[in-house]
Amino acid sequence: MIKIKVRLFAHFRQGREREQILEMEDGTDVAAVLNRLGIDEQEVKIALINGVNGPLDKKLEDDDVLSLFPPVGGG
């Protein structure tokens, strides 16, 4: 088992904690975390793993920090 810290931004926080620690199986990827949190992969614009942009199939390691951002509008 691994523990990862997940940080959610913008509307991903609605109904969820802003920051949480998840215990996941070894070999877990970003997509599995999204599934556990009930976030559609299509909604994720940026996934940072320890501050570096990463693909949704990137395997996570113990103590990784995953930050998830939806598309942000503005003007």
pLDDT tens by residue, 41-64:
999 999 999 999 999 999 999 999
First to last CA, the chain: 43
Residue 74: predicted pLDDT: 59
pTM tops 0.75, yes or no: yes
Interior CA angle at 14 toward 27 and 28, to 5°?
0
Which domains are present in the chain? 2-69 (3.10.20.30)
- Report the C-alpha gap between 64 and 50 in whole angstroms: 6
At 72 the pLDDT is: 77
Give me the percent of the chain exceeding a pLDDT of 90: 88
CB atoms within 10 A of CB 31: 16
Report the range of poorest mean pLDDT among 14-18, 30-34, 40-44. Answer: 14-18
